[in-house]
Structure 1
Amino acid sequence: MALTRDDYHALLQALVPPGQALPRDPDSQWQRLLETRAGAFQRLDARGDRLLEEADPRTASDLLSDWERVTGLPDPCVTGEQTLDARRAAVVRVLTGTGGASRAYFEALAASLGYQVTVEDYTAHTVGDDVATPLRGLAWRWAWTVRGPENTVSYHRVTDGVDEPLASWGNERLECVIGRLKPAHTHVLFAYGE
């Protein structure tokens, strides 16, 4: 916790040697100078405390651009402006993401982007399959489908800045991110709506 201006003023007074050249009278020039210096130290101390919040990308604001630079953001899939919370979430996603090729990984990835999806994968038809199983060739083993709502709307939150949009919608970002992170040998299909 940061010290107050009065705390710093008391500390500075304790460091001053006694004597008439440096009076203790609160209305003296010397005491007003110490009071001014105490304010500067208090602001510096408070700024140091703020750095603790900046060290965590979930709460960073002043150093968020540095976090983005280190993590290779903004994502090439992002077009236009992002909210402060979306930028923070992207940094956290890059720092904590382990990658993967499972259904659960891509569903969690979509959820972190604000999309609720399910992932379906396919297998080639074999002789032992039920007659109700669709006939698919061998190439279908490398295909999978991401199913989601027709339109996903992201609404403005109280923590967002005043210059950010009240709502945004669309699925282009989902398609771009999944297309970029999918296993290279697979083909992903996107299906929206019922």
Structure 2
Amino acid sequence: MSNITFSAEAFRQALLRLLPSGAIWSRDPDALPSRLAGVWGRTFFRNGARAANLLTDAFPATAVELLPEWEASLGLPDPCAGTDPTIASRQRQVVTRLTDSGGSSIAYFTAFAASLGYDITITEFVPARVDIMTVEEPLYDESWAYAWQVNAPASVVSYFEVDQSYVEEPLASWGSSALECELRARVPAHTIIIFSYSGQGAVGIWDAGIWGRDSWG
């Protein structure tokens, strides 16, 4: 968000124009009124810049100084944020929590993931039926009616951006922990969510603890 602020010189000139006329009110750069106006101009500039910054921090998508306030109101940070989240990822998580209206459709979960910065697709499964399956298809039993798979990139990389990132943040960060954590918190209670990353199949990568279960209903 770009804020329009006046420069210190603009404030100095404005202050000089407000002074009375007369010999003792010289506008000469070396005269006392002009030098005082220069000091006051820098003060007004700093105050103006801070006030303009408050407009930026008032919105969660661009908040930095007030970001902890937004997070505290939403119970953040939590384990979903990871061990060392960037400012941008924290902002996205706040916005996602604030705008989340709930849902259980494919459109809802793909949009939810997109708001976190992840481009995903979702695969649904159905039990095997002779009249609709082909020879090559796996023989899913009735339990698979309650499973669904999130297909995501193998590695989501967030790069340092000069106009958006901040001092001491890494030049690049990897990981999908926020995606998995946030989706698991919203998965319908009767279903099992599976995460697949760039070409991996479902077998062997699904949510820990369900291998060998007889029923997911």
Matched, 1:175 2:180: yes
- Unmatched tracts of structure 2, length 5 or more: 202-217
In the other structure, the counterpart of 2:147 is 143
- Unpaired segments of 5 or more residues in structure 1? none
Picking from 79, 87, 112, the partner of 1:109 is: 112
Q: Is the 8 A contact 1:155 1:167 kept in 2?
A: yes
Alignment partners' CA distance in 2, 1:82 and 1:10: 44
1:146–1:190 CA contact under 8 A, matched in 2: yes
Q: Tell me the residue number matched to 2:213.
A: none
The question of whether the paired residues in 2 share the 8 Å contact of 1:152 and 1:169 is answered with yes
CA distance in 2 between partners of 1:155 and 1:179 (Å): 22
Whether contact under 8 Å (1:121, 1:143) holds in the other structure is yes
Distance 1:4 1:135 in 2: 68
- State how 1:23-62 maps to structure 2 within 5 Å: 23-25=24-26, 26=28, 27-62=30-65
Partner of 2:70: 67
CA distance in structure 1 between the aligned counterparts of 2:41 and 2:13, rounded to whole angstroms = 9
Query: What is the distance in 1 between the residues matched to 2:177 and 2:9?
Result: 55
- In 1, Cα distance between the equivalents of 2:186 and 2:111? 13
TM-score by length of 2: 0.69
Greater Cα offset, 102-111 or 177-186: 102-111
Q: Is residue 114–residue 154 contact of structure 1 (8 Å, CA) maintained in 2?
A: no
Query: By how many angstroms is 1:135 displaced?
Result: 4.8
Per-residue CA deviation, residues 41-99 of structure 1 (Å, 9 max, x unaligned), is: 12212222222222233333222222222333224212211122212222222222222
Query: Counterpart amino acid of 2:149?
Result: T
Q: Quick one: percent identity of the two aligned structures? A: 38
Distance 1:145 1:81, change over 3 A: same
Render the CA deviation track for 1:143-181: whole Å, top value 9, x for unaligned.
Answer: 2222334x3141423233352223333443332221111
Query: Following the alignment from structure 1 to structure 2, what is the Cα–Cα distance between the partners of residues 131 and 153?
Result: 34
TM-score by length of structure 1 reads 0.76
Contact 2:16 2:33 in 1 (8 A): no
Q: Deviations over 1:103-156 (max 9, x none)?
A: 122223333334443212234567x8435474522x44332222334x314142
Tell whether the 8 Å contact from 1:115 to 1:152 is kept in structure 2 after alignment.
Answer: no
**How far apart are 1:101 and its partner, in Å?**
0.7
Change (3 A) 1:153 1:11: closer
Q: Where do 1:55-134 residues align within 5 Å?
A: 55-124=58-127, 129-130=131-132, 132=134, 134=139
Change (3 A) 1:123 1:92: same
Which of 156, 160, 171 is 1:166 aligned to? Answer: 171
Which is further off, 96-105 or 156-165? Answer: 156-165
Taking the aligned partners of 2:170 and 2:121, their CA distance within structure 1 comes to: 28
